[in-house]
Structure 1
Amino acid sequence: MSASQSASARRARFKPAHLLGHAVLPLVGLVLMYPLVFMVMAGFFTKQEFMATVIHAFPIPKEPTLRNFRALFEGTTDAAVAEYFRNSLLRTVYTTFWAILTSFLGGYVFARLRFKGRDQLFLLLLATQMIPMTIAIIPTYLEFARFPFMGGNDIFTGGKGILDTWWVYLIGGPAINIMGTFLVKQSLEKVPIELDEAAKVDGAGTLRLLFQILFPLQLPIMAFISITTALNVWNDFVTPFFYTNSDHLQTLPSAITRLSSVGAGPGASANYPLIITLSLGITIPALLIFFFFQKYIVQGLANTGIKG
């Protein structure tokens, strides 16, 4: 095809809608990026200047400071930011690990094993996903408060249970990941059962079958589960806010809420530039995870056979 023919073909394929799309998409991108830009610019304010300034669409401080950004990594007297960040990171890694493990084992049980009431139990687990999380807050609180042989509790008298302890994260976090179990089950059902039988004939035990043969086949699903779980736990506000009280147990989302109530006395105000900067510290890791691993989310859902 000659150059003139190629140019004619491109002109024939071009439609006015393409020009409109190229014009609208950058505008939509700017609108979506605006909150992030505002948070970065507000982080350069001091508390005093922020309160004395009329905030415009793009706030520019007269005396910019890096104090709030240093606090994000080093901590300050206003907040043990490094400790909050550490708690968020440890909880995210710990819960994500258990989500991967329980999802894979649960999916294997429902996809491969045969036992009475299997399908009914699976439907019951799926039905629990229809219960709004807010309804479970009070029952979960009572469950933690009455946890036996913890916090002064025994089988007869009450106490505080595991409330305001690390056990809230260690016990309350690694529950069965029902959605992950469903995805693994859907994916394993597409793997021929003959693969399991051939592995057993070759002398593979159950653990080897699970973790050396079947698990590598589920890596896209595991990536999807780990990414979505990590994002949910990293942004989780409910668990630390309702079930813990000590400052050293707070994560970044709950710490921001506590900081916003600081200085409630007469004439006092919260340190909003610091709060906004801490919010930025929560947002950026989540954006980076989604940006670099979004293909695994699509690939993981595609491997389950779910169409959306």
Structure 2
Amino acid sequence: MARERYRFNTRAGKVFDVVNIVVLTALGVVALIPFLYVLAGSFATEAELSTRSFFLWPDTFSLKAYEGILTSPAFLRAIVTTILVTLVGTVIQLLLTAMMAYPLSKANLPGGKLVMGLVVVTLVFSGGMIPTFLIVKDLGLLNTYWALVLPAAINPFSLIIIRNFFQQLPAELEESAKIDGANEIQTLWRIILPLSKPILATFALFYAVGIWNDFMSPLLYLNDSSMWTLQMFLRQVTVATDLSMVQADQNELPPAQGIKFAVIVIATVPILLVYPFLQKHFAKGMLIGSVKG
């Protein structure tokens, strides 16, 4: 530790720190500027959006875009649908992944190595879009919300990481639970899962972001526009020239470009607000479970 501290206190170490900070700050600004432009554009008037090609602060603030969005029945239906699908889907996917990872973490599980081999194969080879669509169709899941959740219910990468984490837990905990009369389900629910909050919080975030941002699944499996999720609504608004679907007042057209920016902001901000609540688990969860094979 003393040697490392000395190395980073040298002139070369300080120069490295400065260069590192400058480069990372520049990359952060480059990534942030487009979002700031979209945010500013969502509060700008249509006249300003048509005359100014780029700005980070509108000359005149206007809430007409948000009024048009938030009073649109199609948008409200889409965002409620997305929230419910995200919550239910995250719980189902996390629960199924943990229930499969737990038995696979046992060294004496019959056929466990074969199953893990099949899981690893799916990391390299995938059935593809057409076979997946045919399976969803044959199962009768077309035009149902289950088609947005079940086809990707267990992610192979998440399964392997969670399995490795379970293997690192002390075996004495399970032995004590069995002595007290607990079965495997009770051991998983009352002992293993409470001790796995960092890894579960991390992958809950991954699953939630994936479901929230999923565009292909609704596009492929939902034929009814009344069942559209927020991403499908966002796509429809950003490519459509007719914005009557988000028109609050039939006598006044909403700002077309501002509507598009407002929908993007509303679709982005909620998932960003989740990060602060899971941040304390995020860094730890990414490292735990990734060491042991």
Q: TM-score normalised to the size of structure 1?
A: 0.77
- Counterpart position of 1:155: none
* Between 194-203 and 59-68, the greater mean CA deviation after superposition: 59-68
For the pair 1:65 / 2:50, whether they are aligned, the reply is no
> Aligned-pair distance for 1:292?
4.3
- Counterpart position of 2:190: 212
CA distance in 1, matches of 2:97, 2:110: 21
CA distance in 2, matches of 1:17, 1:180: 35
CA distance in 1, matches of 2:223, 2:272: 29
- Counterpart position of 2:28: 29
For the pair 1:86 / 2:84, whether they are aligned, the reply is no
- Counterpart position of 1:109: 103
Q: State whether residues 102 and 177 of structure 1, in contact with CA within 8 Å, keep that contact through their aligned partners in structure 2.
A: no
- Counterpart position of 1:75: 71
Identify unmatched segments of 5+ residues in structure 2. Answer: 1-8, 243-254
- Counterpart position of 2:131: 139
AA aligned opposite 1:137: M
Distance 1:62 1:209, change over 3 A: closer
AA aligned opposite 1:138: I
**Matches for 1:151-166 after TM superposition, within 5 Å:** 161-166=140-145
> Aligned-pair distance for 1:117?
2.3
Distance 1:14 1:186, change over 3 A: closer
Q: State whether residues 45 and 65 of structure 1, in contact with CA within 8 Å, keep that contact through their aligned partners in structure 2.
A: yes
Q: What's the % identity of the aligned pairs?
A: 25
For the pair 1:275 / 2:272, whether they are aligned, the reply is no
CA distance in 2, matches of 1:39, 1:71: 17
Instruction: Please say which structure displays the higher CA radius of gyration.
Output: 1
> Aligned-pair distance for 1:16?
4.3
- Counterpart position of 2:288: 303
- Counterpart position of 1:247: 225
Distance 1:66 1:206, change over 3 A: same
Distance 1:272 1:243, change over 3 A: farther
AA aligned opposite 1:188: F
AA aligned opposite 2:104: F
Q: Secondary structure at the match of 1:189?
A: helix
* Between 224-233 and 281-290, the greater mean CA deviation after superposition: 281-290
**Matches for 1:148-187 after TM superposition, within 5 Å:** 161-169=140-148, 171-172=150-151, 175-187=153-165
CA distance in 2, matches of 1:118, 1:18: 47
Q: State whether residues 71 and 81 of structure 1, in contact with CA within 8 Å, keep that contact through their aligned partners in structure 2.
A: no
> Aligned-pair distance for 1:69?
2.3
Identify unmatched segments of 5+ residues in structure 1. Answer: 1-9, 148-160, 265-269
Distance 1:272 1:306, change over 3 A: farther
Distance 1:93 1:144, change over 3 A: same
Q: Secondary structure at the match of 2:27?
A: helix
- Counterpart position of 1:126: 120
Q: Secondary structure at the match of 1:80?
A: helix
CA RMSD of aligned residues (A): 3.0
Q: Secondary structure at the match of 2:218?
A: helix
Distance 1:144 1:23, change over 3 A: closer
> Aligned-pair distance for 1:18?
4.4
Greater RCO, 1 or 2 (C-alpha within 8 Å, sep 6+): 2
CA distance in 1, matches of 2:10, 2:130: 63
